[in-house]
Amino acid sequence: MTRVDGDIGVTLFAIVSVVMLLPGILSAQHTSADTSSGHNVADESHAGHFAEAGLSDSNPLGDILVEFELTDRNGNIVSVEDFLGQYILLGFGFTHCPTVCPMMVLNMGKALRDVEKEATGIFVSVDTERDSPTTTDDYASRFGERMMGLGGSIEQINTAASNFKVSYAVTKTQNNYTVQHTANVYLIDPIGKLVDVFTFSTPADTLIQAMR
């Protein structure tokens, strides 16, 4: 039997870990620049991210449960019910994300700055090891006064991600720390109903239009 040593063994272990964490998820990854495909759920992939929402073709919104219980920077538990009466733009990611998350949160912040509606933007970090709720809120709030960041325990994040059909995995090796995640923006209306799901690169004007 062939013996696997050192870095090769660690790499194989990391690959197996991802497969175990995300069974059945099909994701195409590449290293080219991010692409923009406009409005609604689309298969947009790039290195280190999953960009499909895993929704059913027959009813792309019906499989999503609009519920979360997450932690804010003050240690308070926050849920969807705390935002009734206003729109929510919700996105999942992590603060060390090089390109996709900044684009997503920038578009969310621009939309909230210009929309003439009561609305809040929520950025949820799936990187529980590096991103505390305070770190996440500091990150999100840099993109606008109406933006906030939420975090929580692994259990809290897993439940919220499952409810919104978000796929994510954190893979650590001796040389790399990789976070892969679904990159979509969820629009929730003032009564707590999911209105639509957008790709991370959806421009602010489109998000504003959807809130009118």
* Residue 122, in any domain of the structure: yes
State the average pLDDT for the chain: 80
* Residue 167, in any domain of the structure: yes
Q: What is the pLDDT of residues 16-54, one digit of tens each?
A: 333 333 433 323 222 223 333 333 333 333 334 444 344
| Domain count along the chain | 1
Q: What is the pLDDT of residues 103-138, one digit of tens each?
A: 999 999 999 999 999 999 999 999 999 999 999 999
Residue spans of alpha helices (H) in the chain: 6-21, 100-114, 133-141, 154-163, 204-210
* Residue 199, in any domain of the structure: yes
CB 86 within 8 A of CB 193: no
Residue 201 DSSP class = T
* Residue 1, in any domain of the structure: no
Instruction: Tell me the CATH number at 126.
Output: 3.40.30.10
Q: What are phi and psi of 124, to 5 degrees?
A: -110, 125
pLDDT band for position 59 (cuts 50, 70, 90): low
pLDDT of residue 61: 74
Domain that holds residue 24: 6-210
DSSP 3-state of 193: coil
Q: What are phi and psi of 9, to 5 degrees?
A: -65, -40
* Residue 179, in any domain of the structure: yes
* Residue 197, in any domain of the structure: yes
* Cβ density class 199-208: b for 16+ within 10 Å, e for less: bbbbebebbb
Note the pTM of the prediction, 2 decimals: 0.75
